[in-house]
């Protein structure tokens, strides 16, 4: 049993001094076993953390600037079929849009960003006059709110 005087002395010691005194009171064999168990625990913890981090990573690498949906290079001159940004009126039905796409031999090549669809017309190139005529005809369609050619 500790006397009150030694208990008061012990309570007044800073924490680091108390920990040092406890570690100094241990035998060398106990310290060796404790250090070995601590090292094994650290190795297991590192292995678990590494396994969790590697589990969620995919193996395939991608270039940050590469987009698989867009052509990588652009042709020089008028070698691609004409494209246009088209906004349909809110009352347009899917059946009407499909009929318009069939009539103009068009396909949707770009999503509805801001309500605008990017359409491509046919697979042949057109002159500037033919593209202007096509845009005029598109603008007169009752389900088209806006049609502008894209370069």
Stretch 110-139: mean pLDDT, rounded? 85
Residue 143 falls within a domain, yes or no?
Answer: yes
pLDDT at 79: 66
Distance, CA of 83 to CA of 151 (rounded, Å): 8
Distance, CA of 6 to CA of 53 (rounded, Å): 51
Copy the structure tokens of residue 123.
């697979």
Beta-carbon count within 10 A of 134 CB: 19
Could you tell me if 41 and 94 lie in one domain? no
> Phi and psi of 114, rounded to 5°?
65, 25
Residue 48 falls within a domain, yes or no?
Answer: yes
Question: pLDDT tens for residues 6-61?
Answer: 545 555 789 999 988 988 898 989 989 988 999 999 999 999 888 887 776 665 55
Domain count, the chain: 2
pLDDT at 78: 47
Range(s) of the domain holding residue 102: 83-150
Question: pLDDT tens for residues 94-108?
Answer: 999 999 999 988 888
Question: pLDDT tens for residues 55-92?
Answer: 766 655 555 554 556 555 555 554 678 888 899 888 98
Distance, CA of 41 to CA of 113 (rounded, Å): 53
Distance, CA of 87 to CA of 112 (rounded, Å): 9
Report the CATH number that the domain containing residue 104 is assigned in CATH.
3.30.70
Could you tell me if 146 and 88 lie in one domain? yes
């Amino acid at each position: 049993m500790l006397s009150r005087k030694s208990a008061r002395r012990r309570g007044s010691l800073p924490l680091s001094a108390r920990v040092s005194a406890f570690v100094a009171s241990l035998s060398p064999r106990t310290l060796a076993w404790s250090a070995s168990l601590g090292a094994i625990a650290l190795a297991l913890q590192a292995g678990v953390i590494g396994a969790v981090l590697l589990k969620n990573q995919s193996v395939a690498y991608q270039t940050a600037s590469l987009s698989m949906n867009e052509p990588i290079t652009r042709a020089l001159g008028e070698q691609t079929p004409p494209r246009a940004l088209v906004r349909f009126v809110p009352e347009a039905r899917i059946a009407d849009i499909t009929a318009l796409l069939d009539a103009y031999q068009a396909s949707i090549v770009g999503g509805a960003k801001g309500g605008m669809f990017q359409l491509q017309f046919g697979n042949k190139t057109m002159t500037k006059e033919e593209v202007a005529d096509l845009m005029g005809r598109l603008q007169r369609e009752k389900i088209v709110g806006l049609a502008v050619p894209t370069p």
